[in-house]
Structure 1
């Protein structure tokens, strides 16, 4: 297969933990052709096709091909060709741009939808990226979530705190744990936090009842092609932090899924796969689903390094099936 990765700059990849690198490595080992571009390289002009200007063909180094999960591999690739590449001319386009889901990310998904109309196969499906904002997507599954409020109203937030006493507040466009606050029963700093996140009613805030199970980790559960990866990565808060995100200093510990995690995952896996979401990362704290990550889910490397389970192989298997089904 000829694969085009739409991703962050290759120079920013940390090969010991980057899931996109793990995908590339597995695909290269199978002989697939790798190309890469950034979202800013996508262009469309009337009379033409959505094209990646200056797309780079990649050849992974022998050290990168031989590396395992969790291995740091400097100088991991060479660029063997550079050319303008129509997205409809490759077998699969993999949208792997990291959040935030801002206006430019949204515009990129619109260009990718146009590429689909021209015959491209895009994973995850661009319309499904737009329809599943990572924090709000959980609203479709209220049976799996903690008491939750989505609002611009400061009064509604105060009432929610009065009812639940210990709450988490977070912006809808945050990532990596940024902008997340906990307010306990004393209500300390609630007003200031509301002002910071709500901006006098200009921005919508998500508020949830605090889940003490966060002490055991914010679990990342991966769904690939409708199949549930049997291990989760528990991101455990460190040093008095309320956030388990790895970007916020959380410790990643891989462990088998609990019965409750598997119940949630097996409910959502076929539904989300049917919507063109080849790869999904569920966030689960205790018994509750907290986020549905679809933009650029990660944790391949940490799970693979600690358990031996080959997440990237499962992903490329699913990609090969999806592309084969589309060509059949």
Structure 2
């Protein structure tokens, strides 16, 4: 039997989490069900002094209900991150300077002996939009640029494209722009902040109607089901936050081939939990900050993704 682990989760404020769909809560429940201790940390509580990274942490007990979904299980304590068997960084974006600062602090904790997942340096080095540029063999025709001349030429060449910021999430500020769109100039001006900000342009993929597929990689293992985020009527974005509908389905041969190729590479970099986004068999994003969709896959297909995360943690901490 695996020994009981002491696990710390760095996450958003507990009161704002949605237990009926939150992947981090699913992981904490899976850990608690196996007898592991669960501690919660707010990112603002991370501190460094004299070579030691410490954070105030609150121990909790998970319930089977959604209201309340947890109970406080002891006093809040300020503990070094090395006192836990593993620390999981599950803070949602935006990936701003405070997020980057957290990765530096977590990297210092790792150098002192803490096990941190996802690896903080890997999180920092993997822009969720730009990471796909390492694997162009799997992507649709794409452009990263800030100059309006380059972006306008790309639109003219392809005729129908998607424009998006490099730091967005949940479908925020994603635009579909056709060559004859009368608003194309102002869209480019807005997204690039008059040429001061780099953005991404990608060929529009009509297969978005079949869903923006989230494929999860857990500790180098491919989850055999994706969650297809299917756009609402009249919408080009499949993101659940933008009104998309989530449907779990088996991976296609192309999706599995891409996932199987990337899984060992990303796991070797310390990325325990990765969410690939694919549309029509094309890789569009590699999500590493706080990938979700575990609950929907488990509910619809019975595959315990959160349990697989705990399996991998137990193996890493053995």
| Shared fold, TM over 0.5 | yes
Aligned-partner SS, 1:304: helix
In structure 2, the partner of 1:314 is 308
Task: Name which of 20, 26, 30 aligns with 1:26.
Answer: 30
TM-score of the superposed pair, with normalisation by structure 1: 0.94
CA deviation map 1:129-170 (0-9, x unaligned): 011010000000000000000011100000001110000000
Q: Structure 1: how far apart are the matches of 2:71 and 2:218?
A: 29
Matched, 1:154 2:156: no
Of residues 183, 197, 204, the one that matches 1:203 is 197
Report the alpha carbon displacement of residue 201 of structure 1 after superposing the two structures with TM.
Answer: 1.5
Which residue number corresponds to residue 175 of structure 1?
Answer: 169
Gaps of 5+ in 2: none
Query: Which whole-Å deviations, capped at 9, do the CAs of 1:80-122 have from their partners, x for residues lacking one?
Result: 2211111011100000000111111000000000101111000
Provide the aligned length of Structure 1 versus Structure 2. 313
| Superposition map of 1:1-328 within 5 A | 1-46=5-50, 48-53=51-56, 55-61=57-63, 63-64=64-65, 73-81=66-74, 82-324=76-318
Q: Given the two structures, how large is their TM-score scaled by the length of structure 2?
A: 0.97
**Alpha-carbon distance between aligned partners in 2 of 1:188 and 1:125, rounded to the nearest angstrom:** 44
SS across alignment from 2:52: coil
Distance 1:144 1:150 in 2: 16
Q: What SS class does the counterpart of residue 95 from structure 2 fall into?
A: coil
What stretches of structure 1 move > 2 A for 4+ residues in a row?
Answer: none
Root-mean-square deviation (CA), in Å?
Answer: 0.8
